[in-house]
Chains A and B, each alone.
Chain A
């Protein structure tokens, strides 16, 4: 592949990742609002199903944060590589 083709392909990759990041951002907002709504309505908060659900939602939010960081990191690295190609 020529340098131009490589850079073009890297850009495509970054675009796909940014799109994923946008989606995960929305997913996190939904997860959080569902979490808030669940806590508000589920007064029997000690029930195993409830604690399990809330724990999963928390983890989903945490993983979401990690996804966003990886995407930022990956895109930055791709850009550095592209720059180094000249």
Chain B
């Protein structure tokens, strides 16, 4: 896997900077909306002695302030990235001061803010939120089976190892004992999905024994 030329890196950084510029502008817009919302709440609740009224005004005001902070943080991040880009390739991007987030070109302002990376972010968002799927390791077991079969098919590395699919941490004496133990363990511990997983492993164990003898 190549690490990419500097030119390629700069191209990606430029795209990132474009997107961050758009995001900073958007955050400022959000700050203005939130500030307007705060003013509406203030007008509506003027003179009211109510904890709800106070909470509404306070939180709206904080939302506005934090939105402004977001715009600043994004601009600062963009400034740092632009400095780094010029570090690895002098003169490659216009440096920007963090205060203004750099001057937006006319083109950048005219472009509608599209979500870069939305496909990757969507896919990664789905798996990232779930973390682990609730499948009793069924999918991972299948993956293991596929890769083992593939390795054996091409005469790969698995041949030299003694495949040990026992659920005992120690050495497994023989296939028949192992099968009986697996069956007992399956019912006792892991339930239906685990039994399916171990059936696959048992099948592979028998195949391995056959192959090693042959």
Contacts and interface: CB of A to CB of B under 8 A. Distances in A.
Tell whether any CB of A sits under 8 Å from a CB of B in the complex: yes
Contacts of B38: 13
B174 interface: no
B204 interface: no
Given A71-B34, A78-B52, A33 B80 contact: no
Contacts of A52: 76-77, 80
Interface in A27-86: 27, 29-34, 36-38, 41-44, 47, 49-50, 52-54, 56-57, 59-60, 63-64, 66-67, 70-71, 73-75, 77-78, 80-81, 84
Interface string B3-35: 110000100110110011011001101110110
Contact of A30 (B4, B34, B45, B116): B116
Interface in B119-166: 120-121, 124
A24 B71 CA distance: 10
A70 B73 contact: no
A62 to B, nearest CB: 9
A34 B121 CA distance: 10
B63 interface: yes
Could you say which interface size class chain B belongs to?
35 or more
B50 A70 contact: no
A61 B98 CA distance: 18
A84 B44 CA distance: 14
Contact of A37 (B4, B12, B36, B56): B12
Contacts of A67: 30, 34, 63, 66-67, 70
A36 to B, nearest CB: 7
A26 B113 contact: yes
B62 interface: yes
B9 A42 contact: yes
Interface of A: 1, 6-7, 9-10, 12-17, 19-21, 23-24, 26-27, 29-34, 36-38, 41-44, 47, 49-50, 52-54, 56-57, 59-60, 63-64, 66-67, 70-71, 73-75, 77-78, 80-81, 84
Given A20-B34, A24-B30, A33-B120, 10 more contacts: A30-B22, A31-B23, A36-B120, A60-B27, A63-B73, A66-B62, A77-B55, A77-B56, A78-B52, A78-B56
Top 5 closest pairs, chain A to chain B, by CB: A33-B117, A13-B40, A16-B37, A74-B59, A56-B77
30 contacts: A10-B45, A13-B40, A17-B33, A20-B34, A21-B30, A23-B30, A26-B113, A27-B26, A27-B30, A30-B19, A30-B20, A31-B20, A33-B120, A34-B16, A34-B19, A34-B23, A37-B117, A38-B81, A41-B13, A53-B81, A57-B73, A70-B63, A71-B59, A71-B60, A74-B41, A74-B63, A77-B53, A78-B41, A81-B50, A81-B56
